[in-house]
């Protein structure tokens, strides 16, 4: 797990009010860790920024129109047309936008060559149906198993980089943020930030209305929901799944793919339905609690002062006391205050990552005051975030947080123990966020805990936080 120390927002680094970015409809990104959102090309045409809804979408279409023309005339994957088509599909991660599954330092990464080949092969399959809309590339993550939303975001960013650079330059000029020439978009000037090697690198700002949250394990349920808005698609897919008692996500995805690639008419209907119904990440619903997370980092959190004194020279047990106090504070505000409201959207609990991010922001305040490192899972996505608190090499405490509907037994019995073994520590705390329907899961892991203690083995502590909906604190008697 890579350390993510003192995450810094763009607004903090350049000493500009975060509200100004919000007013301009831009994301206030962290400069030293990726934000778990991705640019969805399906949203470009809907943006309030004309530089996106007119210029960027046209640039996107023109670029991928060239790609599909070359694929269309290609006879096999090794001929000249196919090799030239590859040049139009850059899958390297652009660290300049600060989005994705990346960890600290925003260093960027590259996708395997076979992912690019898979996208092109699927495009060829669609072209053979007679469909030729260049925006077919937008939904490749749904049609091709190994293509994630971050991949879609990365190649979209590469194509529309000139438009993002113009928006960034205009914002920086308006609010007197220093900008310089760069080698990314040579006719624009961009702000520079330090990367994890200390070098100053350019960055671009991204409009809030062209991003969505990164799904866990490439779960494209929101795309599925968008497609189901069409009665014809819904009826056909349900018929395909009719013989399966409990269809999995993979089953549903395969059924939708079968529909989309059935004919040109079916594909065009599928693409149009998705484009009409997919929505950008809503700051008001804040399904990941990303905006609340940013707010705590930028503005602090009420009642976080601790009167306890921690002597870290005493080792892991002293750090464990500090960690337990961070969890106690988090638990108090969820159970006794109104923080539970940040964990729900209507009558549905937010995604697991929401509680994890809010806890991280609160715990970070304690850690700064006591000079303790807190390291969430390096990529902040793609699965549960565990936390490592440390002071030097020997003193380490791990926290694993699960929602009650998740794999609680496996998380306690296996997952946390694997992390502890990898970190060479016996200090672990397992936190369950109880949104209701915990059932017998708590009894099961307490039984495991008891058996370990009786056998003289280390047993991680268990903490249950009641995150169920409550009456607002202001209305309680």
* Extents of the domains making up the chain: 10-214, 290-475
* Residue 163 and residue 189 in contact, taking contact as beta carbons nearer than 8 Å: no
Nearest-angstrom CA–CA distance, 172 and 170: 6
**pLDDT tens string for the chain (477 positions)?**
334 456 789 999 999 999 999 999 999 998 877 777 889 999 999 999 999 999 999 999 999 999 999 999 999 988 999 999 999 998 888 888 888 655 444 444 556 788 899 899 999 999 999 999 999 998 887 777 778 788 889 999 999 999 999 999 999 999 999 999 999 999 999 999 988 778 899 999 999 999 988 654 445 566 677 777 888 888 988 898 888 888 876 787 788 889 999 999 999 999 998 888 888 888 888 888 888 888 887 777 666 655 666 777 776 778 888 889 899 989 999 999 889 999 998 888 988 888 988 998 888 877 776 677 777 653 333 344 468 777 666 667 889 999 998 889 998 998 888 877 777 778 889 999 999 989 899 999 999 999 999 999 889 999 999 999 987 655 555
245-270: b (≥16 Cβ within 10 Å) or e:
eebeeeebbbbbbebbbeebebbbbb
Q: Quick check: 266 and 258 in contact, CB under 8 A?
A: no
How far apart CA 163 and CA 50 sit, in angstroms, is: 10
Contact predicate 106/183, CB 8 Å: no
Distance between CA atoms of 292 and 56, rounded to whole angstroms?
30
CB atoms within 10 A of CB 206: 26
Distance (Å, rounded) from C-alpha 19 to C-alpha 245? 50
Q: For tokens 């997919």, name the residue.
A: 278
The three-state (H, E, C) secondary structure of the chain, written as one string: CCCCCCCCEHHHHCCCCHHHHHHCCECCCECCECECEEECHHHHHHCCCHHHHHHHHHHHHHHHHHHHHHHHHCCCCCCHHHHHHHCCCCCCCCHHHCECCCCECCCCCCCCHHHHHHHHHHHHHHHHHCCCCHHHHHHHHHHCCCCCHHHHHHHHHHHHHHHHHHHHHHHHHHCCCCCEECCCCCCCEECEEECCCCCEEECCCCEHHHEEECCHHHCCHHHHHHHCCCHHHHHHHHHHCCCCCCCCHHHHHHHHHHHHCCCHHHHHHHHHHHHHHCCCCCCCCCCCCHHHHHHHHHHCCCCCCCCCCCCHHHCHHHHHHHHHHHHHHHHHHHHCCCHHHHHEECCEECCHHHHHHHHHHHHHHHHHHHCCEEEECCCCCCCCCEEEEEECCCEEEEEEEEECCCCHHHHHHHHHHHHHHHHCCCCEEEEEEECCCCCCHHHHHHHHHHHHHHCCCCCCEEEEEECCCCCCHHHCC
Could you tell me the pTM of the whole model?
A: 0.81
């Amino acid at each position: 797990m890579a350390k993510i120390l003192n995450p810094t927002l763009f607004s903090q680094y350049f000493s500009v009010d975060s509200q100004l970015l919000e007013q301009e409809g831009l994301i206030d990104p962290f400069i030293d860790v990726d934000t778990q959102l991705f640019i969805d090309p399906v949203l470009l045409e809907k943006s309030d920024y004309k530089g996106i809804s007119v210029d960027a979408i046209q640039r996107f279409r023109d670029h991928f129109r060239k790609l599909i023309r070359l694929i269309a005339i290609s006879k096999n994957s090794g001929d000249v047309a196919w090799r030239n088509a590859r040049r139009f599909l850059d899958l390297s991660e652009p660290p300049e936008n600060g989005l994705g599954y990346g960890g600290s330092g925003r260093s960027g990464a590259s996708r395997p060559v076979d992912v690019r080949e898979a996208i092109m092969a699927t495009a060829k399959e669609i072209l053979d149906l007679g469909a030729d809309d260049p925006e077919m590339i937008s939904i490749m993550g749904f049609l091709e198993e190994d293509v994630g939303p971050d991949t879609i975001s990365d190649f979209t960013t590469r194509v529309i980089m000139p438009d993002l650079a113009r928006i960034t330059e205009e914002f920086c000029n308006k609010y007197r943020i220093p900008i310089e020439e760069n080698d990314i978009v040579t006719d624009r000037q961009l702000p520079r930030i330090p990367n994890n090697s200390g070098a100053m690198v350019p960055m671009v700002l991204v409009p809030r209305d062209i991003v969505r949250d990164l799904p866990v394990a490439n779960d494209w349920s929101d795309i599925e929901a968008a497609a189901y808005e069409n009665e014809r698609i819904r009826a056909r897919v349900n018929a395909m799944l009719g013989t399966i008692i409990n269809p999995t996500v993979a089953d549903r995805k395969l059924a939708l793919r079968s529909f989309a690639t059935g004919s040109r008419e079916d594909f065009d209907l599928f693409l149009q339905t998705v484009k009409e119904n997919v929505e950008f990440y809503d700051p008001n619903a804040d399904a990941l609690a990303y905006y609340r997370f940013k707010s705590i980092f930028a503005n602090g959190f009420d009642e976080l002062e601790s009167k306890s004194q921690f002597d870290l020279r005493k080792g892991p047990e002293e750090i464990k006391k500090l960690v337990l106090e961070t969890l106690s504070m988090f638990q108090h505000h969820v159970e006794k205050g109104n923080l539970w409201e940040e964990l729900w959207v209507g009558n549905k609990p937010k995604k697991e990552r929401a509680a994890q991010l809010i806890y991280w922001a609160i715990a970070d305040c304690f850690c700064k005051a006591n000079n303790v490192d807190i390291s969430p899972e390096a990529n902040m996505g793609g699965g549960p975030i565990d936390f490592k608190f440390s002071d030097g090499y020997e003193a380490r405490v791990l926290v694993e947080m699960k929602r009650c509907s998740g794999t609680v037994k496996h998380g306690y019995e296996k997952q946390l123990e694997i992390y502890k073994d990898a970190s060479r520590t016996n200090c672990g705390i397992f936190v369950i966020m109880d949104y209701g329907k915990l059932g017998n899961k708590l009894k099961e892991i307490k039984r495991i805990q008891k058996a370990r203690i009786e056998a003289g083995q280390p047993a991680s502590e268990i903490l249950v936080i009641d995150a169920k909906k409550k009456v607002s604190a202001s209305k309680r008697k």
